[in-house]
Amino acid sequence: MIARMSDAVDDRDGTAAGGGHGGVAGEGDAPPPTLRARRIAAWRAAPRVLARPGFLAPLSERLALLEAAGGVYDLDEDSDIYGNGVVEALERRVAGLLGTEAAAFFPTGTMAQQVALRCWAGRTGNPAVALHPLSHPEVHERNAFSQVSGLRPVRVTDEPRLPTAAEVRDFEEPFGTLMLELPLRDAGFVLPSWEELTGVVDAAREREAVVHFDGARLWECTEHFGRSPAEIAGLADSVYVSFYKSLDAFGGAALAGPAGLVEEARAWRHRYGGNVFQQFPTALSALIGLERELPRLPEYVRHARVVAAALREGFAAGGLPWSRVHPEVPHTFDFQVWLPYDAEVVAEAAIRAAEETGSMPFANYWDPRGPGLASTEVYVRAAALEWTAGDVRTAAEEFAGRLLRRAAAPA
C-alpha cells in the first residue's frame, strides 16, 4: 500500500465517509472530508495517540527540530554546496556507524538503490537482481528498476518472508545481485534469524553474486539480531539506510560500501539529478536523529512486544471473533494488525474512537486485504512509551466493542 503514514504519498483512503450528504452534493457545497483528512485531523487533536511520527506534525514543530543542530555540528562552519560541509560530515558518521569504507548521501532511497544496483550490474555483467516480490522497489517504485535503470528483477520466493538459503542456492537462473530488504515491510516488518541471514548471504556468494541490503530500517534491526549496525551491514557488499523512517529526519538516505563503489555511485547520483545544491536542513536533521533517536530504538522494539501482546489480550477480552497481530512477537518496533472487517468500517471506527474518547491506538491507514478483511501498521516510538500494557489492553477492548456494536447494528 502507498498511503501509509510512513510513506504518505497519495490518498488511498480518500473516499468520503460519513458526515456528508445522503445524495449528490449541490452546486457550491463543499465536499465532505476524506477519510484521510479526518484521520489526520483526529490524530492531531487526540490527547493520546500511540504513534506520533514527526513528519505529520505542523511545520513549526518540524522546524523546531533544528534547534538541536548546534549540538551535532558546528553552525559557524560554511553551509554545504553540492555535498560538502555538513553533508560530508553526515557521510563520515554513517560510514563509521556501518563499518564501511565510505558512504554517499542521496536525497531519496529510491535513487540510492537504483544507483547501487546499476553499479553492481556493471561490475558483475549481469543486470538480473534477485529480490522478493514484496520488496520496496517491486511494490512502491513504479517499475523503476526496469524503466529507468535497465535492470531485470527476478523473484526468488513468493512466501511472505525473506528467502531461504536453499531458495537462493537453487534458484533456476543466474543473477548478479541479491537484494534483501531488512525488515521486509510489506510482509509485516519480518526478519530472519541471524543464522538464516548469514546462510542466505553465503548461498548468494556461492553463486558469485553480490549482496545488497535494502536497510531503510536497518537501524531498528539490532535488537532482533543482537548485533550492531556495523555487524549487520558487514554481511553485505553494500547497504542503503534511510534517515527519516527510523530516525525522524526530514528525509534523505545514504548508500554505504567499498570506496570504489561509493565513488562511482556519486557520479551516477549526479546523472540522476541527486547532486542537490544545498541540503543542510536534511543533513542536520539526520545527524540529530543519529544522536537522539538511534540510541532509543532498542527500547522501542522491546516496548513494541509489550504493545503487541496487550493488543491481542484486549481484542480477545473485547470479544472479537478473530484478530491477528503479525508477527506475534514483533521483530522491530513496527508490526501489522489484521481484523475481520472491511477497511472503511475499521477506519471509521478508529477515527470515531479518537474523536469521542481522545485516545487513538490506531492512527494509520487501514489497507483492504480482501472481502471483510483489513490490516494496518502499528508504530511504536517515543509516544508509545507513555502507554502501559494496561492502557493498550483497555483501548483494544473498547475498539473491539465498537466494531462489534457496528457489526450488530441494522443496515
Sheet containing 238-242: give its strands across.
Answer: 102-106, 253-257, 238-242, 210-215, 177-181, 128-131, 152-155
Which segment of 275-279, 305-309, 403-407 scores lowest on mean pLDDT? 403-407
Q: Mind listing the domains of the chain with CATH numbers? A: 33-57+296-408 (3.90.1150.10), 80-277 (3.40.640.10)
Is residue 315 within 8 Å of 349, Cβ to Cβ? no
Instruction: Locate the DSSP E strands across 288-346.
Output: 324-326, 334-339
Q: For residues 161, 162, 163 and 165, what is the CA-based torsion angle, rounded to 10 degrees? A: -120
pLDDT confidence of residue 53: 84
Joined grid coordinates for residue 174? 543466474
* No. of helices (H) and no. of strands (E), the chain: 15, 13
Q: How confident is the model at residue 274 (pLDDT cuts 50, 70, 90)?
A: very high
Give the pLDDT score at 409. Answer: 74
Residue 27 has a pLDDT of 52
Q: How confident is the model at residue 18 (pLDDT cuts 50, 70, 90)?
A: very low
Q: How far apart are CA 360 and CA 355, in angstroms?
A: 9
pLDDT of residue 200: 98
Angle in degrees, CA 216, 222, 227, rounded to 5: 125
**Whose grid coordinates read 477480552?**
317
The CA angle 49-286-96, to the nearest 5 degrees, is 125
Q: Which residues contact 370 (CB under 8 A, 6 or more apart)?
A: none
E-strand stretches of 45-127: 48-49, 102-106
Strands (E), 206-245: 210-215, 238-242
Burial 242-254 (b: 16+ CB within 10 A, else e): bbbbbbbbbbbbb
Task: Indicate the pLDDT class of residue 12, thresholds 50, 70 and 90.
Answer: very low
CA distance 340 to 256: 42
3-state secondary structure of 292: helix
User: How high is the pLDDT of residue 381?
Assistant: 94
- Mean pLDDT within 195-220: 98
pLDDT at 68: 95
Query: Averaged over 97-104, what is the pLDDT?
Result: 98
- Does pLDDT of 24 surpass 50? no
CB contact set of 283 (below 8 Å; sequence gap of 6+)? 80, 86, 87, 89, 90, 105, 252
**Is 124 in contact with 209 (CB distance < 8 Å)?**
yes
pLDDT at 411: 60
16 pLDDT band, cuts 50/70/90, is: very low
pLDDT value, residue 166: 98
Per-residue burial over 126-156, b = 16 or more CB atoms within 10 Å of its CB, e = otherwise: bbbbbbbebbbbbebbeeebeeebebebbeb
Residue 180, pLDDT score: 98
Region for 150 from its dihedrals, namely left if φ exceeds 0, alpha if ψ lies in -120 to 50, beta otherwise: left
Residue 100 to residue 103: CA distance in whole angstroms: 7
pLDDT at 155: 96
pLDDT in tens, 309-359: 999 999 999 999 899 999 999 999 999 999 999 999 999 999 999 999 999
Averaged confidence pLDDT in the chain: 92
Cell 526478519 sits at which residue?
191
pLDDT of residue 67 exceeding 70, the answer is yes
The angle, 0 to 180 degrees and rounded to 10, between the axes of the packed helices 86-98 and 280-292 is 30
Segment 386-410, tens digit of pLDDT? 999 999 999 999 999 999 998 777 6
The reported pTM is 0.91
Q: In the chain, pLDDT over 90 holds for what percent of residues? A: 85
Residue 28 confidence class, pLDDT cut points 50, 70, 90? low
